[in-house]
Structure 1
Amino acid sequence: MPRPERNNLAIYDDVADQWWSDDIRWIRTLKNMVPGRLSWFDRFIDWQGKDVLDLGCAGGFMAEAIHDRGAKVAGIDPAVDAIAAARAHAEATSREITYDVGLGESLPYPDDAFDAVVCVDVLEHVSDLTQVISEVARVLRPGGIFLFDTINRNPIARFVTITMAEDILRILPKGTHDPAMFVKPAELRRELENAGLTSGKTVGLGPRGINRRGDFLFGRLPGTMVIFMGTACKPA
């Protein structure tokens, strides 16, 4: 059998019409990761009234959660159909969120446009990490914060995300990730600092329980060998 395409971003458009249905296990997994991420991000920002960009928003799970915390949210993603699903759900639920189709390497926003940029499950997919981080720094206001997570590059992370999550447990579609594109924390720290951002601490993110449907629930972990979350600030 042919090997699956790696870093296959078409999966987000392929299921866009079911994004908010809870019918697809891997989509539910992405949704279940939002509370664990926010429980840590909340330590670093009061969202109320802040201008926030959700970079790589897909169908809008994180964007809506941040909106519900009182932020003014814009979301951007290259997946056209996923953005359409995000717009439709926001309209149906009376949420005022701006969604745009675009790439992290060339953000269609002016300098100093946002108080915060949130970027989860994205940096391990981008074609030019240096350019994405440069764009994040450009659109952040002085004193603004970058909140992110991504996947560490090492044999353990490859085993967990590819062998286990994609091949055995099937909680992600085959071909979702290319392990060669995973990012070591030290590498990302250098990119952030080269872009003029000040790196903060990192923590792990991973399964912390299982719900009644047999889906994983996620939260903060001490180890950063697989998924790690971090922050960086733009000097005031």
Structure 2
Amino acid sequence: MAQPPRNNLSIYDEVAEDWWSDDIRWVRTLKNMVPGRLGYFDRLVSWQGKAVLDLGCAGGFMAEAIEDRGAHVTGIDPAKDAIAAARSHAGARDITYDVGVGEALPYTDGQFDIVICVDVLEHVSDLTKVLKEVARVLVPGGTFLFDTINRNPVSRLATITVAEDILRLLPKGTHDPAMFIKPSELVEGLEQAGFAVGKLTGLGPVGLTLRGDLKFGRLPLKAVIYMGSATKAAR
């Protein structure tokens, strides 16, 4: 039997019509990760009144949560059907959605106070270009918030063998473990793009919902998923 392609980004368009339905377990998993991420990011930034770019927004879970905190949000993603679902669900919210990629952001220099990028960096075709583009569209002193997956045998076991193959928390082929990013590599790339990098921390399962889905929160270990912040130089 042929193996599914790795880093298969078509999955986001394939489920776009049901993105907000709560009927698809792996999509619910992505939704359930939002509070855990924001529980940490809320400590690092004030969202109220800020211009925020959600880079790799998919169907809009994070974008809507940030808009709830008073931000002016722009979301961008290459999955055009997922973007259509995000636009439809947003209604009159203060969110603008665009189709595009992180390697060539269609925005002016210094347009955003904050860029948030979760579950994305391990999927991009050119990490260096993405980080440079993030720096370009941020104001001087602006903040980049991110998470991604570490590259090591433990993360491969957790995300591929367990999450994709055994528990089916993600569709097979969602990730390519060769594209996972060691923290030292990401820190180096961020520094080369002009960022000062803050402390990194882990993100992972911390319990179960009443439906039996995983709940996520901050963890001390960074072996699988890690998250953090970086600040663009003020000048």
* Rounded Cα–Cα distance in structure 1 between residues aligned with 2:19 and 2:79: 12
Asked if residue 7 in structure 1 is aligned to residue 3 in structure 2, the reply is no
Letter paired with 1:124: E
**In 2, Cα distance between the equivalents of 1:185 and 1:137?**
18
Q: Distance in 1 between matches of 2:183 and 2:169?
A: 25
Aligned to 2:105: 107
What per-residue deviation string (whole Å, max 9, x for no partner) do you get for residues 159-197 of structure 1? 000000000000100000000000000000000000001
Q: Which residue of 2 aligns with 1:170?
A: 168
SS at match of 1:209: strand
**Amino acid paired to 1:40:** Y
The 5-angstrom pairing of residues 28-67 of structure 1 reads: 28-67=28-67
Name the SS of the counterpart of 1:212 in structure 2.
Answer: coil
Q: How far did residue 4 of structure 1 move?
A: 1.1
- Find the counterpart in structure 2 of residue 159 from structure 1: 157
Partner amino acid for 2:105? Answer: L
Percent of aligned pairs with the same residue?
Answer: 73
Equivalent position of 2:140 in the other structure: 142
Q: 2:191 aligns with which of 185, 193, 204?
A: 193
TM-score by length of 1: 0.99
Query: AA paired with 2:106?
Result: P
Structure 1 residue identity aligned to 2:39: S
TM-score by length of 2: 0.99
Q: 2:227 corresponds to which residue?
A: 229
Task: For residue 10 of structure 1, report the CA deviation from its aligned partner.
Answer: 0.1
Q: Which runs of 5+ in 2 are unaligned?
A: none
Secondary structure at 1:100's aligned position in 2?
strand
3-state SS of the aligned residue for 1:133? helix
Which string of whole-angstrom CA distances, capped at 9 and with x for unpartnered residues, describes residues 18-46 of structure 1? 00000000000000000000010011111
Instruction: Give distance in 1, aligned partners of 2:12 and 2:4.
Output: 16
Shift of 1:235: 1.6
- CA distance in structure 2 between the partners assigned to 1:169 and 1:66 by the alignment: 30
Specify the code of the residue in structure 2 equivalent to 1:208. Answer: V
Unaligned runs of 5+ in 1: none
Q: Deviations over 1:135-180 (max 9, x none)?
A: 0000000110000000000000000000000000001000000000
Structure 2 counterpart of 1:46, one-letter code: S
Partner Cα separation in structure 1 for residue 47 and residue 110 of structure 2 = 17
Amino acid at match of 1:105: E
Report the equivalent of 2:211: 213
Letter in 1 for 2:82: A
Quote the Cα distance in structure 2 between the aligned partners of 1:73 and 1:95: 9
Q: Distance in 2 between matches of 1:115 and 1:196?
A: 15
Runs of 4+ in 1 over 6 A off after TM superposition: none
Alpha-carbon separation, structure 2, partners of 1:3 and 1:81: 25
Q: Which amino acid aligns with 2:218?
A: R
- The aligned residue for residue 89 of structure 1 is 89
The letter for the 2-side match of 1:232 is: A
Output the CA distance in 2 between the equivalents of 1:80 and 1:146. Answer: 24
Q: What amino acid is aligned across from residue 86 of structure 2 in structure 1?
A: A
* Alpha-carbon distance in 2 for matches of 1:4, 1:225: 25
How much does 1:212 deviate?
Answer: 1.1
Alpha-carbon distance between aligned partners in 2 of 1:3 and 1:64, rounded to the nearest angstrom:
35
For the residues of structure 2 that align with 1:211 and 1:140, how far apart are their CA atoms? 36
Q: How far is 1:49 from its partner?
A: 0.1
Task: Tell me which residue corresponds to 2:123.
Answer: 125
For these two proteins, the number of residue pairs brought into alignment is 234
1:142 aligned counterpart, secondary structure: strand
